[in-house]
Chains A and B, each alone.
Chain A
Amino acid sequence: MTSQSATLPLAPSAVKSPRRSALERLRRYALFGVLALLIIGFSSAEPAFIQPANLLSILQGTSVDALLGLAVTVALIAGGFDLSIGATAATALIASSYAMVVWQWGALPTLVFGLFSGVLIGLFNALLVVRLRIPDLLATLATMFLLGGLQLIPTGGQSISSGLMLRDGSSATGVFAPAFLALGRARLLGIPVPVLVVGVLALVIWALMERTRWGRVFYATGGNEEAARLAGAPTTRYRTTAYVISGALAALGGLIIAARVGRGDVSGGSSLLLDSVGATLIGFAVLDARRPNVLGTLVGAIFVGVLLNGLTMLNVPFYTQDFVKGLVLVAALGLTFGLGRARR
C-alpha cells in the first residue's frame, strides 16, 4: 500500500490555473452532488422516499455496513487490509446467540463476550501480520476461512434460536434477552439505536484519526512504516491496536445483526465484507481524500444505502443490487485514481 510518487523534476507551478482548481473542486464534492441528485430524483419519482421514516430506515439499514466499513477503514489506515471483517461479525453473531440460547447468559455478559471475541480475533490477526509478518491480505484471508469454519462447529451448522437441538439430544432453553434485542430494534428519541451507536462511534474514531496525534501516527504507520519508526513511533503496537479496534467494531456489527434478527444464522459474512470494503473504497473519493477516512466511509455506506433503497422503491429487481454496487464502486475509484492522477 506504500505507493510513493517519484520526485518529478517539474518545478512547482506557482499559480494554479482556475480551470484546474474548478475541476479539483468538482472532484472534491462529486459524491455529495450525486447523492443530492439521487435523493431529489428518487423523491420526485416516489414521494414516499423522502419521508423521515424511510430516511431513518435507510440509515438503520446501512448502520452495520457503516460499522464494518469503519473497521476496514481503521485497519487500512494503519496499513493492513482486514479481509476477516465479515467473518468476525458472523462469529460474534454466533458467539452471542450461543451464549444466550445455550448458556442462558444475560444481555451484558453476552455483549462483553461478543466484543471480546472480536478483540481476540484482532489480536490473532495482529499475531499473523505483525509478528509472523504474513502479508496482510493472505493472513486475514486465512482468518476468514478459519472463522467461517469455526462457527459451524458448536451447532453442527444449525441456526441458533430457542429450542435448538443440542448434541446430547436435549434442546436449548435460553432466549434472547430483551435488553440485548433492544440494541438492534429500539429507538431513542425516534432514532434507531444502531444509528446512534454508529454515529457516536464514527465521531469518536473520526476525532481520534483526524484530530489527535495518535491518529497521525496511525496514518504515518500505514503510509510509511519505516518513516514512522524512525520518527520514534512504536509501529508494531499501533498496527496491533488497529487490528484490535477493527475486530471489536466488526464484532459489534455482528451483535447488532443478532439483536435485529433475534436468531443466530451461520454465514461466512462475505457479503458483509464486500459491502464494508465497498463503503471504505467509495470513501476514498469523498472530499478527494484518496485515503481511507472515517467521514468518507460513512458517506460511502449511506450512498449505497440510498441508492439501493431508491431503486427498490422504483421496483428495480433485487438481483441487480450487486451490479449497481459494483458500478458505483468502479465510478468512485475511477474518479479518485483515474482523474485524480492528473493533479500530480
Chain B
Amino acid sequence: MTSTLPDTPLLVLRQIRKRFGATVALDGVDLSVRAGEVVALMGANGAGKSTLVKIIAGASQADEGELLWAGVPTVFDSPRAALQAGVATVHQQTSQLGVPGLSVAENLLLGRLCSARSAVLISPAHIQQQAAAIAGDIAPDLPLHADFADLTTAQRQLMALARALHEQARLIIFDEPTASLSQAESVRLFAMIERLKAAGIAILYVSHRLADLRRIADRAVVLRNGRVAGTFAAPLDLDAAVRALVGSTLPTRPAKNVDVVRGAVPRLALKQIQLRPDSTPFDLNLHAGEVIALTGNLGAGKTSLLQALFGLQRWHAGRVLLDGKNWQPRHCADAIDAGVFMAGEDRWRSSFLPVDSLGARLADLIALPHLRRLFGSGWIKPGQLDETAQLWINRLGIRCQGPNDTPDLLSGGNQQKVVLARWQSQPSRVLLLDEPFQGVDVGARHDLVASIRAASDTAVLIATSDLDEALEVADRVLIMDQHTLHDPGQHADAGSLIEHLEHLERFALGITATPRAATPAPLTESVL
C-alpha cells in the first residue's frame, strides 16, 4: 500500500511557524511520522497542538516552514487536498465527524455522494451494500440504518475511521479521541490503533491523557509555547514528559488529609442508597475536608449520583443525611441554598453563556449562582463582581487579561479554573465536581487540585473516568459500577485500583459480547 521507502518518513515538518496577530502559535516546530508508527503529540492547552494538527490536515496554512509528504515538499491548501493525499482526522468534537439526520450508511458514503462524479440516482439498497463494504471488518457492528445523531462517541469515531480507511488514508490524526470514551471503549480504540499500525498506517495521536500515551505511543513529542520541548521514545518516561510539558518539576502528590475527624458526624452520609430500582444499595460517608473521587466506566452512575445529590434527579430508595439532617433536594436551587454546589461536566454547556450575552464576562460567570445572596436589593454592583473575580484570578492563577474577559479567550485549563472559582467563591458544605479535569492540561490540573484540596470545611465528591486524576486529587478513590459503589479499601494504591478497574473492564466487555442476562451477579461478588 505504501510506496515510500521504509526509512523515508511519511510526513516531515521542518521549522513550521504560524502567527495569529501578536500571538506566535508555532515557533519553528519539527516533527516526523513514519508509516506504521504511533507518534503522540502532547502539550498544554495553548501550546500549539491544535494549530499544528490543523496545518497538517490542511485546515490552516503555515506562515513559514516546509511540509514533506512522502519526501516531496507539499502544501495542503485545503482539507480536501490533505484528504486526497491521505491525511484523515478523527476530530475531538465528534459532531464534526458526520452529518446528523443522515443514516450511518449515507455518512459512510458521504465522500462519494458529494463527489461531482457520483451518479445522480443511487438506490438505498446500493448505499447499504456499499456502506457495508466500507464498514468492512474495521466496524462490522456499526448500525448502518441508524441516524448519525443517535450514535455514541465511540461509534462515531469508528465510523470516521472506516471512512478514512476506505478513502485510503495513510496518516490518521486522532485529536483527543478518548476524551469522552469509557475505559472499555478506550481499550477497544487502542486495539484498533494497534491494527492500523500493523497495516502500515502512520498515526498522530493528540492527547492529554498520560495513561493513553503510555499504552500506545512509540514516540512522544511534547510542545510548549509553540516549540518542541522534548521528544521521548518508548518506553515513555512519563515524569520526564510531564516535566517537559509543564516546564518545571512536578509538585509531589499532595499529602493525604489524615486529620479528618472520623468520629464526628459526617458532612454527607448516604444510607442504603439505591440509584435505580435494579441496582444494589450502598453506603457512603463523606467528611468535611475530605476529597473522594468516584471512578468507573461511562454510564456506571457517577453522574447520576452527583446529580441526585444536587437535586437534578431522584434516587430510588435510601436516605441521605447532610450534617446529620435529612437531605432531599427538590431542585438545584434547594441544593445551592443549602450549600451543596455542583460543577457540571462540559463547562460550555453547563456553566458558560454565549460570549456576546450580558453576563458572559468572567466576573459575571463566577457570581451567577450567588447573585441573590450577593445583591439582596436586586441592584448589581459591578465593582464588587470585579473585585471578587480578581481575587480568584489571583488565587487560582487564571491566565487572562482580567475580569472583563470572556471564557472563549482562555485555554481549557483556565476555563475550568473559572468554573471552580464560581463554586469556591462562596462557602459551601458539599462540592460536587463532574469531570473537572476534562480538556485541562497538567499544569492547570495541579492548580485545580491544590485549590480543591485546600478547602478544609467542604466535603468534595469528584466524578472522573480517569484513574490518574482520581489518584492525584482524592483521599479515597471509590469505584462505581452498575450504579453502585465499590470500596477497594482504605489504602488502595494505583496498582490495586488498576487491577480492580481492569476486572470491571473485562466484565463490561463480557457484557457487550454476550446477552445482557448473562449472570452478572456472581461476577460482581467475585470483584468484591
Contacts and interface: CB of A to CB of B under 8 A. Distances in A.
A219 to B, nearest CB: 4
A10 B47 CA distance: 9
Nearest to B343: A230
Nearest to A336: B356
A167 interface: no
A231 B368 contact: yes
B348 A4 contact: yes
B524 interface: no
B333 interface: yes
B412 interface: yes
Given A219-B357, A232-B333, A291-B357, A212 B378 contact: yes
Contacts of B344: 230
A220 B368 CA distance: 9
Contact of A289 (B23, B350, B356, B359): B356
A215 B379 CA distance: 10
Interface in A195-250: 209-217, 219-220, 222-224, 226-234
B284 interface: no
B443 interface: no
Nearest to A3: B354
Contacts of B93: 6
Contact of B380 (A13, A20, A213, A290): A213
Contact of A290 (B337, B356, B410): B356
A293 B357 CA distance: 10
Interface string B354-370: 11111110001000110
List 9 A-B pairs, minimum CB-CB distance, nearest first: A9-B50, A223-B357, A223-B353, A213-B371, A231-B369, A290-B356, A232-B336, A232-B333, A11-B46
A8 B411 CA distance: 8
A228 to B, nearest CB: 8
A207 B409 CA distance: 29
A219 B415 contact: no
B368 A216 contact: yes
On chain B, which size bracket covers the interface?
A: 35 or more
7 contacts: A10-B20, A14-B401, A20-B21, A211-B380, A216-B371, A227-B352, A289-B356
Contacts of B408: 5, 7-8, 344
A15 interface: yes
A209 B379 CA distance: 10
Interface string B382-394: 0000000000000
A16 B335 CA distance: 42
A209 B380 CA distance: 11
Interface string A4-31: 1111111111111100100000000000
Interface in B402-421: 405, 407-412, 415
B359 A219 contact: yes
B358 A13 contact: no
A2 to B, nearest CB: 6
Interface string B85-110: 00000000100000000000000000
Contacts of B189: none
Given A9-B50, A220-B368, A226-B350, 14 more contacts: A9-B46, A10-B25, A10-B46, A12-B405, A14-B401, A17-B22, A209-B358, A213-B375, A215-B358, A223-B353, A224-B352, A224-B353, A230-B344, A289-B356
Contacts of B371: 213, 216-217
Given A211-B379, A212-B379, A226 B400 contact: no
Interface of A: 2-17, 20, 209-217, 219-220, 222-224, 226-234, 289-291, 293, 344
B358 A210 contact: yes
A210 B379 CA distance: 9
Nearest to B310: A230
A260 B30 CA distance: 75
B332 interface: yes
Given A211-B380, A224-B354, A14 B349 contact: no
B332 A230 contact: yes
B226 to A, nearest CB: 9
Nearest to A15: B22
B349 A13 contact: no
B465 interface: no
B332 A232 contact: yes
B358 A219 contact: yes
Contacts of A9: 25, 45-46, 48-51, 411
Nearest to B337: A232
B372 interface: yes
A213 B378 contact: yes
Contacts of A291: 356-358
A6 to B, nearest CB: 7
Contacts of B332: 229-230, 232
Contacts of B350: 226-227, 230
B342 interface: yes
A220 B354 contact: no
Interface string B25-52: 1000000000000000000011011110
A16 B400 CA distance: 13
Contacts of A20: 21
A226 B405 CA distance: 22
Contacts of B412: 7
B372 A219 contact: no
B482 interface: no
B359 A223 contact: yes
Interface in B292-343: 312, 332-333, 335-337, 342
B353 A220 contact: yes
Nearest to B378: A212
Contacts of A10: 20, 23, 25, 46, 51
Contacts of A214: 378
Given A216-B364, A230-B344, A231-B368, A11 B25 contact: yes
A153 B282 CA distance: 64
A122 B357 CA distance: 24
Given A223-B357, A224-B353, A12 B25 contact: no
A29 to B, nearest CB: 18
B49 to A, nearest CB: 7
Contacts of A11: 23, 25, 46, 411
A63 B381 CA distance: 31
Contacts of B405: 12
B451 interface: no
Given A5-B408, A12-B409, A234 B22 contact: no
B61 interface: no
A249 B409 CA distance: 38
A225 to B, nearest CB: 10
B523 to A, nearest CB: 36
A214 B380 CA distance: 9
B351 interface: yes
B400 A14 contact: no
B361 to A, nearest CB: 11
A223 B371 CA distance: 17
A219 B353 contact: yes
A156 to B, nearest CB: 46
Contact of B348 (A7, A219, A231): A7
Nearest to B371: A213
Which of A20, A232, A291, A344 has the most CB atoms of chain B within a 10 A radius of its CB? A232
A294 B23 CA distance: 36
Which of B350, B358, B375 has the most CB atoms of chain A within a 10 A radius of its CB? B358
Contacts of A230: 312, 332, 342, 344, 350-351
A226 B371 CA distance: 17
B380 A223 contact: no
A10 B350 CA distance: 23
Contacts of A227: 349-353, 368
Contacts of B25: 9-11
A306 to B, nearest CB: 26
A10 B60 CA distance: 13
A2 B474 CA distance: 35
